[in-house]
Structure formats: C-alpha cells, structure tokens
Amino acid sequence: MSKVATLEIDGKKYEFPITIGTENEVAIDIKSLRGDSGVITLDPGFKNTGSCESAITFLDGEKGILRYRGYSIEELAEKADFLEVVFLLIFGELPNKEELDKFKEDIKHQSEVNLDMKKVLRGFPPTAHPMGMLSSLTSALIAFNPKSVNVDSEEDMYKAIVKLLAKFPTLAAWTLRRKNDTSLENRDNNLGYVESFLKMMFQESGKEYKANKNVVAALDRLLILHADHEQNCSTSTVRIVGSSQAGLFASISAGVSALWGPLHGGANQAVIEMLEAIKADGGDTSKFIAKAKDKNDPFRLMGFGHRVYKNFDPRAKIIKKAADEVLAELGVEDPILDIAKGLEKAALEDEYFVERKLYPNVDFYSGIIYRAMGIPTEMFTVMFAVGRLPGWIAQWREMRLGKEPIGRPRQVYIGENLRSFKELDNR
C-alpha cells in the first residue's frame, strides 16, 4: 500500500500520510489539510472519522470480531472474571495472581461512600430516572474528592481509578434503593465485586441475602461483554470531556449521560418496553416489523442495528445463549423471550433488514436476562454503565497519558451572512 494519499482540490494536489493500524486498518492523516489548503472535511456523526489511535479494543464490524487488548471476547467471557478484564482493559495486560489480589483488596478498601452522598441522593424524588441520579452522583463524588489527579503520577492515577471502580457500584445500587425508598448500605467486603453489587441492590432489611451463584456468574459475564467498545458515543464523550483536562469523575459522569440515550445504552430499556408493547398488542410481530420499515413512522426496532457491526454482534450471540441458560436456571418462563426470538427470526428473513445489514445488537437479549434476575427495567442502562465503567476509565487514561490535544471539531457554517442589527421597533 502506498504511504501517501493524494487529494486534488481546484487543480492543486495535496499529499497526506497514510497510517496503518496493527490489524491493517488504513487511515489518511489529514491533520495538515486545513493548514495547507484552507479546506476541512465534513463527516456528521463521525461515520468515517478516526478520532484517535488506541491500543485498547479492536473490533471488525464486518467479521463480527471484538477483542480487548488482543484477547477475543468469547475467550474472556468464558475464562476471565470481570475484575481481571477491568485490570486488562485499564493497564494493558492480564494481572498475575499477586496483582489481581492487590487490585481486589485496593478496591475493597476504597468502597465506602461518604455519608453526605446519601443526602445528595435523598434530594432526588423516587421518580427520578436512575441514570440521571447516577450521572449526578458520579459528578457529586468530586465534591468529596476535590484533589485533582496528577496524571503524571502513576500512583495518583491508580488511586483515582481504584476509588471510582470501588464506589461506582455502590452509587449504582443506591439509585435503585432510592427508587424503592429502602436503606442505603455500603459494600459487603466479604463478597466479590459482582455479588456485593447484587446484595447492595437487593438485600431486604433484617433478612439474610444470598445471591444465586449462577446469577452472579451470568452478571459477571454480562459486565465483561459490556466492558469496552472502542470509540462509541459515551466513550468518545469521556475522551472529549477529559481532553479539556476535566477530571476523571467529571468525564465519567458525562459518559453516563451519553450512555443514557435510547440510541445507545438506553436501548436495553427500550427493547423491553417494545417487547411489552408487542405482547400487550396480542404478540403480532409483523405489525411492528412493518412499523419499523415505514419511513413515515419514527418507530425503530430497538436492539437492532449497529453503527459498526454489519454482520453480527458477537456479544449478542453470547448473550442469546446466556438468556436461555439464566432463565432455565431460575425457572423463569418469560413470554417476552419467545416474542424476542420470533421478532429476531422475522427480521432476519425480511429484505429490509437484510439489505441494511441490521442484526440484533448487545441490547436485544441483555434486558431479558436482567428482568429474569429481578432487575427493574429502568435499571438496565445503569447495569450497562457498571459494565462500561472500566472501558471509559481505560480510554480516559490512554487519552491523558497520550497527551492528546483538546477535542474540538470544526463546522461548515450555513447560517446568515453579516447583516445589520434591527432596532426592536423595526422587527
């Protein structure tokens, strides 16, 4: 492959270096374009724009490949536990036993959340959406940890990262406790990360709580599947907010807000609401497929389609199998699972979806598992956020260590040209 790309504008030629990634991804480095020619590129939604070079996650949407730090998602989901994957994503290598034990202990030691944070939480009405509460609480953590992270110190960076990993599941669980108006507990340090998270969500006062170990394992796996997905909407948000040198907690709080939207992490909630609507309507999936295809109808098949995966989403494959296993294990019969399978089959046979390469994404089946675990629909995106936290942190750390410049796109202005101010009486 040539090492330069040539662009001709108005008869004048400009040359740009070509960058090739380790998986042979080819990019034209256009940093000098505007300086040399006065011209910019236009790419709404960044469909064709690489915002950074990154060594964290590789995905190939055509082939359905997803790897964290070179390890396949299938192998990690089968063999690793969530905190091993967290360490891998953030620090680049799988931890050895000593490193992993220390990491887990450090997280335990930082798990307590300042009592005044409970006052912040109680300021929200129980009707508040848990994602709104989670984003605000993450931001509020700054008030109780005001010292900014010295990113040139590995130790400082490590401490801030551990603090956030330790407190975030507590904040996430508390958003559910606030909705249910139940007591707010800190983490039980006798339990692992995932089990203690379940306990903080579900323990009833005065009663013993024992999580089903298969449920713990299934949730651990779900969190691994959500842990990173390169430059998606929320991750790009975290990197761009962090690029202004706003702190880690502020950047992650922005990521939580970005994840909330129904076109991103909010899709898992939207999927269940859609399946419920189909059920309430008598279960006729063809009507909803027709609505999704109708260009005059804003309805979309939630949990279908992906900006990058144009063949299949490897996470959806693993999750579909896990949904069957978890429901069987818990003895849950959920008619919604049958509707989901029927909908998937009908869509995969429909020319509209085939032509546009629309396949079930990670969110199509994850909500069904969360539901079987007794997690309320409004909490699904919070579950996603707990899973995605290490990815956001890893990407923030990479961006800060790489001393990336502040993120600041340009635009093509299409508004009015210069005009004179009209006095109020003349308008």
Q: Is 361 in the site for ligand ACO (CB under 6 A)?
A: yes
Number of residues that bind ligand ACO (CB under 6 A): 18
Which residue among 220, 228, 313, 363 is the active-site one? 363
**Chosen residue from 153, 345, 356, 402 binding ligand ACO by CB under 6 A:** 356
Q: What are the residues whose beta carbons fall under 8 Å from the beta carbon of 331, sequence distance 6 or more?
A: none
* Polymer length of the chain: 427
**Chosen residue from 304, 365, 370, 396 binding ligand ACO by CB under 6 A:** 304
Task: List the one residue out of 182, 224, 238 whose CA is nearest residue 376.
Answer: 182
Q: Is 264 in the site for ligand ACO (CB under 6 A)?
A: yes
Neighbours of 419 (CB within 10 A): 6
Token reading at 58? 């590789």
Q: Is 301 in the site for ligand ACO (CB under 6 A)?
A: yes
Which amino acid belongs to residue 98? E
Long-range contacts of 384-387 (CB under 8 A, 24+ apart): 384/226, 384/259, 384/265, 384/268, 385/131, 385/134, 385/168, 385/172, 385/255, 385/256, 385/259, 385/265, 386/168, 386/169, 386/172, 386/197, 386/223, 387/82, 387/222, 387/223, 387/224, 387/225, 387/226, 387/227
Span interacting with ligand ACO, options 127-135, 316-324, 356-364, 389-397, rule CB under 6 A: 356-364
Q: Is 306 in the site for ligand ACO (CB under 6 A)?
A: yes
Of all residues in the shown chain, the one whose CB is closest to ligand ACO is 305
Span interacting with ligand ACO, options 6-14, 123-131, 167-175, 303-311, rule CB under 6 A: 303-311
Q: Which is nearer to ligand ACO, 130 or 265 (CB)?
A: 265
Q: How far apart are CA 172 and CA 352, in angstroms?
A: 38
Which residue among 81, 229, 306, 313 is the active-site one? 306
Taken in order 410, 413, 417, 419, is the CA torsion positive or negative? negative
We find the least distance from the C-beta atom of residue 263 to ligand ACO, in angstroms, to be 4
Q: Is 303 in the site for ligand ACO (CB under 6 A)?
A: yes
Q: What are the residues whose beta carbons fall under 8 Å from the beta carbon of 112, sequence distance 6 or more?
A: 167, 186, 187
Q: Is 302 in the site for ligand ACO (CB under 6 A)?
A: yes
Q: Is 237 in the site for ligand ACO (CB under 6 A)?
A: no
Neighbours of 11 (CB within 10 A): 5
We find the least distance from the C-beta atom of residue 271 to ligand ACO, in angstroms, to be 7
Q: Is 340 in the site for ligand ACO (CB under 6 A)?
A: no
Q: How far apart are CA 260 and CA 175, in angstroms?
A: 14
We find the least distance from the C-beta atom of residue 247 to ligand ACO, in angstroms, to be 25
Decide: helix, strand or coil at residue 335: helix
**Chosen residue from 81, 230, 344, 363 binding ligand ACO by CB under 6 A:** 363
Phi, psi (degrees; rounded to nearest 5) at 170: -65, -45
Q: How far apart are CA 167 and CA 163, in angstroms?
A: 6
We find the least distance from the C-beta atom of residue 19 to ligand ACO, in angstroms, to be 24
Q: How far apart are CA 205 and CA 187, in angstroms?
A: 15
Span interacting with ligand ACO, options 105-113, 128-136, 297-305, 393-401, rule CB under 6 A: 297-305
Q: Which is nearer to ligand ACO, 154 or 276 (CB)?
A: 276
We find the least distance from the C-beta atom of residue 306 to ligand ACO, in angstroms, to be 5
**Chosen residue from 159, 279, 307, 310 binding ligand ACO by CB under 6 A:** 307
H or E segment and range at residue 260: helix 248-260
Task: Specify whether 229 is catalytic.
Answer: no
Span interacting with ligand ACO, options 58-66, 96-104, 165-173, 260-268, rule CB under 6 A: 260-268
What residues from 189 to 228 belong to the interface with ligand ACO (CB under 6 A)? none
Q: How far apart are CA 374 and CA 79, in angstroms?
A: 26
We find the least distance from the C-beta atom of residue 387 to ligand ACO, in angstroms, to be 10
Task: Specify whether 306 is catalytic.
Answer: yes
**Active site residues per annotation:** 306, 363
Which residues here bind ligand ACO, judged by CB under 6 A?
263-265, 267, 292, 300-307, 356, 358, 361-363
